[in-house]
Amino acid sequence: MEKNLVEVHNTIRSGIDETLKEMGVDIIVSGADIDLREYIYDSLEYINFVLVLEEKLGIEVTNEAILYDNISSLQGYINLLGLLFEEQVD
């Protein structure tokens, strides 16, 4: 069964929240977009974040999508992962 865009984005957001929580990071979004680079400081944390997120979502983050600057916007990152999710998950 195919998920609609809202369901995909909710799944991705939940995966991001769970992954950050496992890393000891709690984020509170008050409606405004946030810069995840404020919570993921270095490359090792970021690579760990991506690897765990890939496993949770069942996707592979492509080389183009793995750029650190892509997490400068939580919503933008969700949109980017949403495209990968739609391409890779049936």
Query: What are the C-alpha distances in Å from 77 to residues 1, 56, 89?
Result: 24, 16, 17
Name the pTM for this structure.
Answer: 0.88
d(CA 50, CA 47): 5
Mean pLDDT, residues 38-60 taken together: 94
Structure confidence by residue, pLDDT tens digits, 32-46: 899 999 999 889 999
> What number of CA atoms fall less than 13 Å from residue 14's CA on the CB side?
8
Is residue 30 pLDDT above 90, yes or no? no
Grade residue 27 by pLDDT with cuts at 50, 70 and 90: confident
Is residue 51 pLDDT above 90, yes or no? yes
Architecture in CATH for domain 5-85: Orthogonal Bundle (1.10)
Taking Cα atoms as reference points, which of 62, 42, 44, 64 lies closest to residue 54? 62
Q: Please tell me the predicted confidence (pLDDT) of residue 1.
A: 46
